[in-house]
Structure 1
Amino acid sequence: MAALAEHTTVNDHQRLVVWLDDLHLYLPPSGDLTLSTLDRFTSRPGQTVVLATLRTEQRDTLRKEAGGELTRDQRLVMESATEIRLPSTRANAGEQARAREAYPDDLDDANGLGEVLAGAPTLLQIYRDAEDANPDLFATVRAAIDWQLCGLTAAIPEQDLLRLARYELGQFRPDLTSSFSALPLSEACRPAAGGGQAALLSRSTTEDGTIGYQPFAYLVAEDAGQSGNPRPFDPGFANEILGTCKLSPSDRNSIGLACYLRGELDLARRSFTSAAEDGNTAAQFNLGSLLLNDIRPPELEEGRRWYEMAAESGRPEAQYNLAAHLMELNPPDLDGALRWYTAAAEFGLPEAQFNLGLLMSRLDPPDLDGAERWLRRALENGHKSARGALGLLLAQLDSPRSEQGFALLRAAAKQGDETAVQDLGVLLAQRGPSHFEEARTWLTSAAEAGDSGAQRSLGVLLTMLNPPALDEARSWLTAAAESGDVKAQLFLAMFYLRHGSADPDEPTRWLTLAAEGGDVQAQYRLGLHLAERERGRGEEARHWLVSAAEVGHTEAQSYLGVLLANSDPPDLEAAQHWLERAAKQGQTEAQRNLGILLAQSVPSDFAAARRFLTEAAEAGDSAAQYSLGVLLSNLAPPDLAGARRWYEEAARRGNLDARHNLSLLRGHD
């Protein structure tokens, strides 16, 4: 397909219809039909229509399989299509009547007319009966079927078929393997007596003279489960192919994917690795995905290495997945993610364009022009979330672009984008009381549909009304919290702390759930709550404060430092450690308390104490300004001018102790 898309006759202004019979043959891994390939057709100068056909059972199989990264291209192509489902003529009484009139002796209730005319029921019965009546024939046909079930759509060469048929025979009649005969090949290629023109196997010859065989497609579909009873996949057969047949890297990748879809991860890895080492970029991508997403524990370095090889070779889905993987690192590799999202976005992947736009909007500082450009590209290419994301970006800018953003958000919300509904409601609420009603309307619609984020946001909004709708707010926060939304659990706990609860244990219960769910603010709040309101739970309080402090929560670090300094006995070394971590990040309360601790320690460190108190004082902390004045007035010799300056600053901010000390200084003068 990719080669066809680049053909000179395709790139003209003539109208073009591309017809793909049996779509699954063109989808990866056997084919190269991806969204980017489709984009090459649809972006040509002339009008283009791409049509494809697919049997219902094959469609259902693809949809069932297309859940992971290895089948992502299949999923995206199928999701982008406009589906026209043709019902079976067996459900149409008029069609059935006309068929019976035209073919009175052929139609039955169990099969369609096409199946009967092709001889499908007859061939299926011959195949099933042969297991006992003609084991050599059965093994030969089953080998050809299993060849296809292993993902190999090309005809199976005769020598491979005979060797694999002997393997099949050994699985159910090992006593007959020594007498296996190739004679069933000619029998399998003859149409059945009383059937149609089809045979169990069809014979063909390639340009190089190789004789190959294809099984009747209906038999493959039956063994794959079109009637609801699929035959178990035989990993031993796939292993036999890999060990005895001459395969291209593409063939080995196809076998790997077939094994992966059936849960045979070790065999899938072997197949992918063999193809990847021979330079097959699809296999490199698949191997990287397998190692990062399916192997436990994941093999991060090796998986990333294969992603990088496929990405460097220009495979856009590998570029996209590599970028996503780099964003998941701790800390994320933003430069690498930008590079690979950009490569995939320029190739035309809407998902990459969308994620690149989001990433650019969240950089420090943000690249708003780049973010807008890529989100617009994603929107033009049909990404379902791009309209809302672009709206959110523009809505936070100055007018008139802000109004454009709100218009996009409203349009996305009306189309059912749940994230857009929530973003719209939150932004409207932030615009002030005059927009509360519209915000409430949007959030209510999403909340009633079960969106926990909207339930949480609605609960918060209802507490902001005048007068607040506290009962309704509690109801929505509870609904979100009970669904497992950790932010809602935190907000519900804070709601109870502010507005009270009939059960005094409610705040602790919800804070604990949110803290255990990994919410750092909840861990801090729980530690604070246990330390100040729950006697006898000091150790538990310290545990949660340490959990929040260790991941950089400066308020938790500051409070933990004070708590340890005032414990019995005090742990001054640990207290200084946590206060220093918070102080170095600019937390003024920590700077002030660290300065006091250093000044009062034995031995004291007045220079460091003065430095930290000065930082807090210059940030406007009146208590630090007062403490700095005390420190300066007690130096040897005292810095009374400096002390007076900071007492005056603190006094202007209403600090009574500073006013008192200032009056003493003036009396001293």
Structure 2
Amino acid sequence: MRYFAVRLGLGLGVLLLAGAPAFADTAAGLAAFKNKDYQKAFKEWKAAADAGQAEAQFDLGVLYAQGLGVRRDLTEAAYWYRTSAEQGNAEAEFALGQMYSRGWGVPRDAADAIRWLQMANSVESEGPPTDWANVEGYGMPQDQEQAAYWYRRAADKSHPEAEFNLARLYASGKGVKKDEEQAARWASASAAQGYAPAMANLGMRYASGNGVEQSGKRAYFWLTLAFLHGEKSGEKMRSTEAAKLQPAEVTDQDRAAQNWKPRVATANRKQ
């Protein structure tokens, strides 16, 4: 099931519209929303939401959160986000996680915040994975320290995307003190669970010795794993590293990559 995403602003700014509606009622609601006829959008989405359409339930939550076409009510917004999230809508799961993280419409609860933010990126959720770093700033203040805090909370529970995003913050020095060794450590933790972008990043680190001891074999191994998992960003470097190795070494690393299995995540792992 496809849904169109209305990025929530929760009263703090911009709504971002993307994609295509899946049902007639949501289409009518979207058309009204684009025309700034919020009362009509509410009417259309409310009918679809009452009929059980997860996309419309999320959109209705946005209207309540923003106070568009209806009195602003964060408790009601949280209700509709939850109703949609319980059907596996990734945008609603992310929105509900944000609500719990800030205590908007629900009691502030770090555990529930992390749980819903993790679910937003699970394979069972409908819609594309939510990139927390990209969403930060759409209708919300740019707060890299807060982003680092929530990434760290989720990373401590072995959430691979959060581990990799935390690695990126350490690499850039945004929200945390710049630390390439910490960046490499979190990228390694993410890669070990099979997260392909982290595999490519770790391979590049081994190639250059950035945050880790330089190793052509390890670079080629992780870049090969990333390639096998569909990540193409390190393909050129993979070829470069292969040329530096003996044919037998390339064969050994290829075999190791083919036989590699991701580790099982363990919560509350300390780095």
Considering fraction of residues, name the structure with more helix: 1
User: Greater relative contact order (Cα 8 A, min sep 6): structure 1 or 2?
Assistant: 2
The structure with the larger Rg is 1
